[in-house]
């Protein structure tokens, strides 16, 4: 392996056939380069989609009411289904449900402070809503249990509302009028991955009393403790069956209540990206194999050109293993060096793209959604690719080397 004469001979052969060696190496380098680009791009897409899911809790679920479309137990179809406060208690004590928030929909409401006013969306909720929405508090606090129990007139406003109503003035502790009713500002928040923060949050119990909502709830936002697709679907089915019995509608009537299971959507989406990654590996390895086949073909030509030389070597006592080793070393050298260059260029380009994206992120806004994030290749993948190159170089050179070792000295000496 470390015979200096062998290496001198290999380098002399490469130097003698520069163009052929370059084209052979380029095909291998291009194959591994494209593999790194494809893998990095696949990681970038997967990371981007996963990051967008993280703007809300991955295990979140939303439930809302609708109308029945089929008769049930003597009740006609077209009957509206309604949630009430006791339904919140049912969900809150249900197995598989971690946290739950009921919401009473008020829609756009007018907020005013001093001479400034505007229409913004009011979200009435329990404190647990933030386990789903995962808003980031810039100032103050979120709605708490004391606000719910005492029906306090407090409100958490979005960043855009604070800037529109208060300008440069402090907002915490000040009173804003919500449809002419004064509410004290206890917090300012932003919604992750959103460019518009025009929502305000107030205790649902307060909204029901102040704005004549009685004990009515329009929908629920909750988190579940299911870890797999099957577990999340079981919890979803349990919730639907429970409400079907209580509110008297057919459990198979999906129009009676609507449900969105984010965990189910997340798992299915990630499965798609896993399939895409497998497809990327197939394409990348296929491209790499094309380059390796090129190396093998070139080595066959090399063996053909050096048939007489190999015959002389064997005639003076060279063993078949030494002939195989000579051809294998040349094949491995070309494949490994060219492949490593492609590996470095491919991973380097992905790192550069990632660096440029991180540099431009503040200018674009930290809260913008993205479908492409951290398009880099894992170190383990790079190491595995390097090992794959060495193995591929060995395979590419083995067939020509085996052919060279089988050449008979007399036949080789007759070769023209």
Q: Is residue 195 domain-shared with residue 147, that is, in the same domain?
A: yes
Residue 410: the pLDDT is 63
Q: Hey, which residues does 156 pair with through a beta bridge?
A: 187, 201
Residues near 6 by Cβ (< 8 Å), separated by ≥ 6? 325, 326, 329
35 lies in some domain: yes
Residue 88: the pLDDT is 93
Q: Is residue 82 domain-shared with residue 104, that is, in the same domain?
A: no
Residue 332: the pLDDT is 79
333 lies in some domain: yes
Q: Give me the residue label for tokens 């005639």.
A: 315
| pLDDT, averaged in runs of 10, over the chain (416 residues) | 66 76 80 82 75 69 92 90 93 91 87 93 93 90 95 95 92 94 96 81 94 89 86 91 93 91 80 80 75 73 68 69 73 81 86 79 48 72 74 73 68 55
Q: Is residue 91 domain-shared with residue 109, that is, in the same domain?
A: no
Q: Is residue 140 domain-shared with residue 179, that is, in the same domain?
A: yes
DSSP 177: E
Q: Is residue 87 domain-shared with residue 231, that is, in the same domain?
A: yes
* Whole-angstrom distance, CA of residue 131 vs CA of residue 59: 10
393 lies in some domain: yes
Cα-Cα-Cα-Cα dihedral sign, residues 119, 121, 124, 125: negative
Pull the structure tokens for residue 386.
Answer: 């390097």
Range of the domain at 242: 67-96+225-255
Q: Hey, which residues does 158 pair with through a beta bridge?
A: 189
88 lies in some domain: yes
Q: Give me the residue label for tokens 């994030």.
A: 373
Residue 370: the pLDDT is 61
Q: Is residue 234 domain-shared with residue 359, that is, in the same domain?
A: no
* Whole-angstrom distance, CA of residue 204 vs CA of residue 197: 20
261 lies in some domain: no
Q: Is residue 180 domain-shared with residue 241, that is, in the same domain?
A: no
Q: Is residue 185 domain-shared with residue 140, that is, in the same domain?
A: yes
Residue-wise over 207-243: b if at least 16 C-beta within 10 A, else e? bbebbebeeebbbbbbbbebeebeebeebbeebbeeb
Q: Is residue 190 domain-shared with residue 243, that is, in the same domain?
A: no
349 lies in some domain: yes
Residue 382: the pLDDT is 72
Q: Is residue 104 domain-shared with residue 189, that is, in the same domain?
A: yes
pTM: 0.64
Q: Is residue 287 domain-shared with residue 370, that is, in the same domain?
A: yes
Residue 371: the pLDDT is 61
User: How many structural domains are present in the chain?
Assistant: 3
**CB 201, CB 129: distance < 8 Å:** yes
134: left (phi over 0), alpha (psi -120 to 50) or beta: left
Residue 402: the pLDDT is 73
372 lies in some domain: yes
Q: Is residue 218 domain-shared with residue 241, that is, in the same domain?
A: no
62 lies in some domain: no
């Amino acid at each position: 392996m470390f015979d200096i004469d062998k290496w001198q001979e290999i380098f002399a052969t490469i130097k003698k056939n520069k163009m052929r060696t370059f084209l052979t190496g380029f095909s291998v380098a291009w194959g591994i380069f494209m593999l790194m680009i494809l893998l990095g791009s696949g990681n970038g897409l997967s990371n981007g989609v996963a990051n967008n899911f993280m703007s809300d809790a991955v295990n979140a679920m939303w439930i809302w009411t609708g109308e029945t479309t089929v008769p049930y137990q003597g009740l006609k179809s077209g009957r509206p289904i309604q949630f009430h406060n006791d339904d919140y208690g049912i969900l809150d004590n249900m197995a598989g449900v971690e946290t739950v928030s009921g919401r009473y929909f008020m829609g756009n409401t007018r907020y005013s402070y001093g001479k400034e006013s505007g229409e913004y969306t009011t979200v009435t909720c329990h404190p647990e809503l933030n386990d789903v929405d995962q808003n980031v508090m810039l100032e103050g606090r979120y709605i708490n249990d004391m606000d719910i129990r005492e029906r306090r007139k407090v409100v958490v406003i979005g960043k855009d509302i604070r800037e529109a109503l208060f300008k440069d003035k402090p907002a915490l502790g000040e009173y804003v009028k919500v449809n002419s009713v004064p509410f004290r500002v206890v917090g300012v928040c932003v919604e992750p991955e959103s460019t518009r923060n025009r929502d305000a949050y107030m205790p649902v119990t307060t909204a029901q009393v102040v704005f004549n909502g009685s004990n009515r709830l329009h929908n629920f936002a909750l988190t579940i403790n299911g870890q797999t697709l099957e577990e999340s679907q079981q919890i979803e089915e349990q919730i639907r069956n429970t409400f079907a019995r209580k509110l008297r509608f057919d459990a198979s009537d999906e129009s009676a209540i609507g449900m969105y299971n984010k965990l189910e959507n997340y798992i299915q989406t990630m499965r798609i990206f896993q399939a895409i990654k497998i497809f990327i590996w197939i394409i990348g390895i296929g491209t790499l194999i094309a380059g390796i086949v090129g190396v093998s073909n070139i080595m066959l030509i090399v063996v053909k050109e050096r048939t007489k030389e190999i015959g002389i070597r064997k005639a003076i006592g060279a063993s078949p293993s030494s002939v195989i080793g000579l051809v294998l070393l040349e094949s491995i050298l070309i494949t490994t060096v060219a492949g490593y260059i492609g590996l470095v260029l491919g991973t380097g380009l992905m790192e550069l793209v990632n660096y440029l994206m991180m540099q431009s992120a503040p200018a674009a806004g930290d809260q913008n959604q993205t479908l492409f994030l951290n398009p880099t290749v894992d170190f383990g993948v790079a190491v595995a690719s390097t090992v794959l190159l060495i193995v591929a170089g060995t395979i590419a050179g083995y067939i020509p080397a085996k052919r060279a070792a089988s050449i008979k000295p007399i036949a080789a000496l007759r070769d023209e």
